[in-house]
Structure 1
Amino acid sequence: MSALTRSRSVPTNIPNDINLEYYTQRARGGAGLITTEGTLICQQGTEWQNAPGLWNQDQIAAWKRITDAVHAEGGLIFSQLCHLGRVSHPDAPEQKASGMPVYGPSSIAARGGKFRFLPGQPGYVTPVAVDDPHFFIDLHRQAAINAKEAGFDGVELHAAGGFLVQQFLDSTSNKRTDAYGGSIENRARFGLEILKEFVSVWGNKRVAVRLNPTGGYNDMGMPLQENIDTFQYFISQADDLDLGYICLLRYNPALDPEIDGQLRAIKHDVLKTYRPCIKKSPLFLNSGLTPEEANELIAAKEIDAAVFGVLWIGHPDLAKRIEHDIPLDAKLDPETFYGRGPQIPYEEQKKGYTDYPAARL
């Protein structure tokens, strides 16, 4: 089960009883490995309201209830750790509470964006350039330590989504002239140093990374050859760490926004282009897979595991349905995907989240 931002940690950023029920349902439904929704490494750095964090003891204790419940159902759960960098907004409640500005690798705003929970639906702003990348590397390390205390089985670095790690990697958002900008090796340094910190805390096989080489979302993407060269280098270097897995997202039209009259993504065959770079770490594939396609790719040894996202939203027992050939028949309501804010009564937060029924076996 892939990371799925659902924005149900109301009223603040601490996982609650509804989150507990949600993850328990899916562990019970056969999810072999659950990756949590993007979990914030600090209060500063959130595009989503009511996204959970992992920077304080209250959050650690709340996540411990969830990891214990997942383990009781026989499941495994990794925490996906992230910082959203330049795609935060200074008027977002959590951002204001942090007392910090919006940061990015360089003072370059992402185009587009929409903060539906802010008056006027503003877009992205020009960020303050990160002065010392080690500050954010250290925040990631501490979050990895916190994840261990919270009982997780490992951590996944969110290096996709147009968030901070991908912003450092991409030359359109990173114009730095220090050791973290310019060449491919320098732009890759930030994410790779975080992965090495994760490995120092967890050991290599309990660390993973999620990447989206086709970009698009949140204004990501370089010219094709530079894009390929950059991701081939990063993936090869990450693979040398012999990670628990490397999860690649393939091109998905739903994550390809139109900006200035053109689709933003850099379309290319992710498996064909990057599979040769991965020799030590298992390769996971995500984004729009069907169970039938997943079985074919695994049988052909093109991937080591299939990762499903949206299918888990409406089918809390997705794995068992696939195993027993039960139809995937949920009628999804996209209006409930990302919650509706803390002003909605607590019981109503369950709509489209924990009220999808399991099939009768």
Structure 2
Amino acid sequence: MPASPSAACLLALALLLTALPVGAARAAACDYSPAVQRFEQLLADRGLPGGALLLGTRQGLLLQQYRGSYAADTVVAIASASKLASAVRILQLADRGQLPLDDRVERWLAGFGAQRGAMTIEQLFAHTSGYGNDSADPLITDRGISLAAAVSQIECCRDLAPGYAVGGQFAYGGVSMHVAGRIAELATGVDWEQGWQDGIGAPLGITRIDWQGLGPTTNYMIAGGARASLRDYGALLHVLLNGGWANGHRLLSRDAVFELWRDRIGSLAVIDPPPTAQPPVRYSLGAWIVERESGRPPLIHSLGAFGFMPWIDFEAGLFGVFMIRALPGINLQAYPVYLQMIEDLRIATAAGCPEFERFPGIFQADFEGRGAP
């Protein structure tokens, strides 16, 4: 019996939808323009030559745009966004039993003595070790020496900040992560940058993240010296949102990812935080936690002084990168814009946005029915 005209139309429509990319029929529901327009206005207001932004889920990329002089191969120095990239490597080594988070410094560097030797790897990466606001310390900014040489001098000659105690306060800085980076080299027998590439970069196909962002060096500024492209940092965030699994590799356990949810400050005194760290200040390992109602999956980010901001919204199931390279001080204007952009993107994707590029080999069973991440 011939199909009725209405049935024929329905069949034709069904065939058309089958031929379209996944989710294309719902593309109209996803309006990213509010966030994009805010970003473009920020670039214009600050007279920046360009910028880029990326948005993704566990399944794939939803948005990737470049403006001005920025393109897919653009690499910028990312300042303190280095901290989260470094923390992923530290968590990986903890997972493997090579460098437990509760390891004390004295196990690896006997010259730190009884007091400083009690610092743990966790405290070194949570800014609670007893070192102060020391990101400009010449031992960590000197590109003419090695990481080993710099930490040898810290071991010799950099005491805790006056009045500070191990585990007694939160003070955002760089020396403590420098020490942890050197210990990672000792624990693995591999140079920091090479170890990061072997353990994380190569399995993910990342080629544009290294610790040469402030100039060629082997004194890798663990807390602030990296550089990255938009896509490569996005690939790193996808690992975390996807429970430690990406590109056919398990790089972290789910428990390791959950370490990024856990605030290390609690009731500790907060000493001179960056102006974008509004009370209540919350910090995990290499990442800030944006306060939400108790029990809700967090939003974390690792905003750098030059305006580069990687973030993960575990509740919404989104990750993103806002990529600019500006002068220090940009974040007083950029950070509020970024927070509003994230809210815009949460709203835009709430209806279920189709990805324009699906990630290969998503390990669905690793997160289905078990909650985020």
Q: TM-score, normalised by structure 1?
A: 0.27
Q: TM-score, normalised by structure 2?
A: 0.26
Q: State the structure with more CA Rg.
A: 2
